[in-house]
């Protein structure tokens, strides 16, 4: 109000003509819009300009809300009752981008419901005008002017109203766009996901901190480079296909692939790719949101490994139980004695099996144990009634908790295979285990004799894959299949025994 008073007082003081006062008002309006920091600043500047230029004391600005309903956002000298009664009323919807101005010179002559006309007249309004506020893509609202008496609007007043409307609509849209862009920028900058953009030639144009963390390149290093910088050699055919789909306007959601870090390592990621459109609707580039799913992949692989291991163990339990019954039947003299021997051996087998359970399955961390003690526990179910079935000699060592499970799993797998196919599958068979210390390794030599001739398995089963995976955690493994029986050499790295 102070600003409007200053303009009117200054104009009167200097005896400015009506056109000169209008020019002064519009100049002041433009200047205030330029300096506006909030929407309220924009609305106040507009209401001052509307009232001054169109010579009225009452005006309002209305905008569509989230539900597409026209609501009052700023006004001058309108009662609460009037605003409440007409709130939401509009001759246009958001889709009416090219809405025409409406000037009502005499409200009493309006072809509208009597109740609405009565409400307007009761407010002391006898003439009014609806001036649309057009945005770049849709109608964003309107401003209204009100007069106490019927009025004939001149062409000049109509043009003046449209001039103010264009400036006001542009200012509102610019402000809201800038605010939205600032919010979006803040979201992009704070996102833990990698968010990048590229043009239709595959050149990187935007790069957020999440992308720096995921791929290792700084913003300065990445922008201007081809997106092929991130794509491994064996996946370079993906990018042309993605660009083609983007040119067709497709959204590519949750596309799982592999990308390359600055240091050369490969990263499993999930991509969501969206086309970027110019104001004209033309597709000019693409935005990508990339999320590291390496941990998820590792968890899935571990889950598959555990399920496979459980399946393998269940099959082995049946095979071992059958083998124990067959072995025990040769020394038992009665069914009762056979049942007793088998029960005892199954209980021992259960205790040995518990040593091979991973903490993820067992729910506890195994304790340290001496190597010879561990071997005795795992081989106890297969001891002979008449003579020893296995011999353990040589150096001993403490097996730390960190590798008890892995080593137990390997030794249990050796014993299981021996019961199923090797020396422990026969009465005469023997397992000889020699332990020896070497400068950088502790070596366990597992030698089977007295069983059927050993042959290299034709196919690699889950047990063999499990052995390979476990050996990687400990050291190295060598196996020789001879006519006398298999010879296994397991070498454990010294640093693994020092954990």
- The values of phi and psi at residue 441, to 5°, are -145, 160
User: What is the model's pLDDT at position 447?
Assistant: 93
User: What is the model's pLDDT at position 312?
Assistant: 52
- The values of phi and psi at residue 124, to 5°, are 80, 25
141: alpha, beta or left? (left if phi > 0; alpha if psi -120 to 50): left
The tens digit of pLDDT for each residue in 138-162 reads: 899 999 999 999 999 999 999 999 9
The tens digit of pLDDT for each residue in 322-378 reads: 555 555 555 555 676 556 555 655 555 555 555 555 555 555 566 677 889 888 887
As a whole number of angstroms, the longest Cα–Cα distance in the chain is 132
Q: Decide: pTM greater than 0.75.
A: no
Residue 344: C-alpha distances to residues 96, 329, 348, 351, 424 (Å)? 88, 14, 6, 11, 17
Query: Any idea what the Cα angle at residue 302 is, between residues 300 and 306, rounded to 5°?
Result: 115
User: What is the model's pLDDT at position 313?
Assistant: 52
User: What is the model's pLDDT at position 152?
Assistant: 94
Helices 371-379 & 401-421 angle (0-180, nearest 10)? 40
What is the gyration radius of the CA atoms in the chain, in angstroms?
Answer: 42
| Terminal alpha carbon distance of the chain | 80
Minimal CA–CA distance to 414: which of 457, 388, 379, 441?
379
DSSP character for 148?
A: S
Sites in the chain below the pLDDT cut of 70: 1-16, 178-190, 279, 295-334, 336-367, 384-386, 456-467, 469, 498-499
User: What is the model's pLDDT at position 15?
Assistant: 46
User: What is the model's pLDDT at position 21?
Assistant: 85
User: What is the model's pLDDT at position 77?
Assistant: 95
């Amino acid at each position: 109000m102070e600003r409007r008073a200053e303009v009117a007082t200054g104009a009167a003081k200097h005896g400015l003509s009506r056109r000169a006062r209008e020019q002064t008002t519009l100049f002041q309006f433009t200047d205030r819009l330029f300096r506006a920091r909030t929407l309220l600043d924009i609305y106040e500047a507009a209401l001052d300009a509307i009232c001054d230029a169109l010579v009225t004391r009452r005006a309002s600005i209305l905008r569509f809300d989230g539900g597409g309903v026209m609501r009052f956002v700023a006004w001058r000298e309108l009662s609460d009752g009037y605003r409440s009664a007409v709130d939401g009323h509009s001759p246009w919807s958001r889709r009416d981008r090219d809405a025409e101005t409406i000037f009502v010179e005499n409200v009493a002559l309006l072809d509208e419901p009597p109740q609405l006309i009565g409400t307007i007249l009761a407010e002391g309004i006898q003439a009014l005008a609806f001036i649309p506020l057009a945005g770049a893509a849709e109608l964003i609202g309107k401003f209204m002017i009100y007069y106490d008496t019927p009025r004939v609007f001149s062409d000049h007043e109509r043009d003046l109203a449209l001039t103010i409307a264009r400036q006001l609509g542009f200012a509102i849209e610019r402000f809201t766009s800038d605010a939205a862009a600032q919010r979006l920028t803040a979201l992009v900058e704070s996102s833990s996901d990698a968010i990048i953009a590229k043009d239709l030639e595959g050149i990187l144009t935007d790069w957020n901190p999440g992308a720096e963390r995921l791929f290792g390149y700084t913003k300065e290093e990445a922008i201007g480079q081809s997106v092929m910088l991130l794509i491994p050699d064996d996946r370079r055919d993906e990018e042309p296909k993605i660009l083609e789909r983007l040119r067709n306007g497709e959204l590519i959601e949750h596309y799982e692939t592999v990308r390359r870090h600055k240091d050369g390592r490969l990263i499993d990621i999930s991509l969501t790719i969206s086309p970027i459109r110019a104001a004209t609707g033309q597709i000019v580039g693409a935005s990508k949101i990339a999320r590291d799913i390496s941990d998820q992949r590792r968890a899935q692989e571990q889950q598959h490994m555990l399920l496979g291991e459980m399946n393998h163990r269940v099959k082995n339990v049946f095979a071992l139980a059958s083998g124990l019954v067959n072995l025990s039947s040769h020394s038992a003299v009665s069914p009762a004695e056979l049942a007793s021997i088998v029960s005892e051996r199954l209980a021992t087998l259960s205790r040995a099996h518990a040593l091979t359970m991973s903490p993820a399955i067992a729910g506890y961390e195994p304790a340290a144990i001496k190597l010879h003690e561990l071997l005795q526990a795992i081989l106890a179910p297969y001891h002979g009634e008449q003579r020893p079935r296995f011999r353990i000699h040589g150096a001993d060592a403490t097996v730390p908790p960190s590798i008890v499970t892995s080593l137990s799993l390997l030794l249990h797998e050796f014993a299981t295979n021996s019961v199923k196919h090797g020396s422990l599958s026969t009465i005469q068979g023997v397992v000889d285990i020699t332990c020896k210390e070497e400068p950088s390794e502790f070596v366990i030599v597992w030698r089977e004799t007295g069983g059927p001739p050993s042959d290299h398995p034709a196919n690699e089963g889950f047990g063999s894959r499990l052995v390979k995976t476990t050996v990687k955690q400990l050291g190295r493994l060598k196996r020789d299949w001879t006519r006398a029986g298999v010879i296994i050499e397991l070498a454990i790295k010294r640093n693994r025994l020092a954990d």
